[in-house]
Amino acid sequence: MSLEEIRNFVPMTPSIATSGQPTPEQIPEIAAAGYQVLVNLALATSDHAIADEGSRAAGLGMRFVHIPVAFDAPSLDDLNHFVGVMEAFKGSKVWVHCVVNARVSAFTYLYLKHVRGVPEAEARSPVLEAWAPRMDDVWKAFLAQGEAFLLARKG
């Protein structure tokens, strides 16, 4: 099994990868690839959610953080929590997932561009590029509000 088999796997930086929901069998592969932190932005009730994902990750020596982001209502509080987690684990290899990598692509884009200073083209994942033309108004507004929020944080 390879990481490329994980739904919508996108390595964003040498230390940050994103994807859709991994299967229970894929979590050990993520750990074996050196990822030390597993962050889940999907709801616990999402399609293919793994009820014991946190304990599976912990059993492999990984840290697990669950930030449940409602797909129809992402918030700046969610974004602030995500940025805090990503900054707390800045020196670690972090794998971030949701159901299909849509919400993750938006959150990671905002984080990489506005907190880490990654150039726009590198911060935008292929998943975000593919989603952008059909993105609904909720997510368009979230991206705009997230940009303003993170720019204001920089001062």
Position 47 pLDDT exceeds 90: no
* pLDDT-based confidence at residue 92 (cuts at 50, 70, 90): very high
Sheet harboring 94-97: ordered strands across?
A: 10-13, 16-19, 94-97, 37-40, 63-66
Report pTM. Answer: 0.96
Provide the residue ranges of all domains of the chain, joining segments of one domain with +. 3-154
Q: What is the mean pLDDT of residues 67-82?
A: 98
Measure CA of the first residue to CA of the last residue in the chain; give whole Å.
Answer: 45
* pLDDT-based confidence at residue 154 (cuts at 50, 70, 90): confident
CATH fourth-level superfamily of 3-154: Protein tyrosine phosphatase superfamily (3.90.190.10)
SS3 86: helix
Question: 83: Cβ–Cβ under 8 A, 6 or more apart, which residues?
Answer: 111, 115, 150
